[in-house]
Structure 1
Amino acid sequence: MIFPSNRMRIMVATKPVDFRKGHDGLTALVKNELHKDPFTGTVFVFRSRRADWLKLIYWDGSGVVLAHCHRKRS
């Protein structure tokens, strides 16, 4: 479980990403496209093209945590 601290940074990517990417692909995207270090504890948020899925990656000190959620359309 992720317990946010009062100093946790959250960065939201503004362009959609290919949602076939897993933790390795998203970590590489953070390094190469966003020019950020994915191993600092910052939460990186990515969205799908239709904006109905979100993926979050986060370094918890021992590994990369990948979480995803889906918004149901009515």
Structure 2
Amino acid sequence: MFRFDDNLKVYLHRDPVDFRYGMNSLSILIEQSMRLNPMDTSLYIFGNRRCDRIKILGWDGSGFWFLLKRLETSHFIWPDNKADIVTMTTNVLHALLDGDDITAIRRHPKRDRRVS
């Protein structure tokens, strides 16, 4: 399991994407649809329609990292947030990657596990 720095920005794309998309197509989607810079030090999370796979795209300063995870016995649960772009902390990202229901994580000022 990967662990990411606590200061890392993480963005979740709300709508499912075509999982034939690779690094180039997803970086264009980040620029045009999310209006963000794919070459900053953030992670961008994308899911498929069945919610059993996610793709993560990130830039480390010299190239893109491209990660894929498929859950075998369950599915990822996206937050009910109506925004096109959802930001999350790395703790919530870890919960998502573990297959936890991140919608059950409530916002609390003293807790770092929040979805906005």
Instruction: Write 1 or 2 for the structure with the bigger share of strand.
Output: 1
TM-score, structure 2 length as denominator? 0.59
d(CA) in 1 for partners of 2:54, 2:68: 5
TM-score, structure 1 length as denominator? 0.91
Structure 2 residue runs without a partner (length 5+): 75-116
Aligned pairs, number: 73
The one-letter amino acid paired with 1:50 is R
Calculate the aligned-residue CA RMSD, in Å.
1.5
1:18 and 2:15 correspond: no
The one-letter amino acid paired with 1:8 is L
Q: Determine helix, strand or coil for the equivalent of 1:20.
A: coil
Structure 1 residue runs without a partner (length 5+): none
d(CA) in 1 for partners of 2:47, 2:72: 14
In structure 1, the residue matched to 2:8 is: 8
Identity %: 27
Larger Cα-atom Rg: 2
* Deviation per residue, 1:55-74 (Å, 9 max, x gap): 00000111011000001137
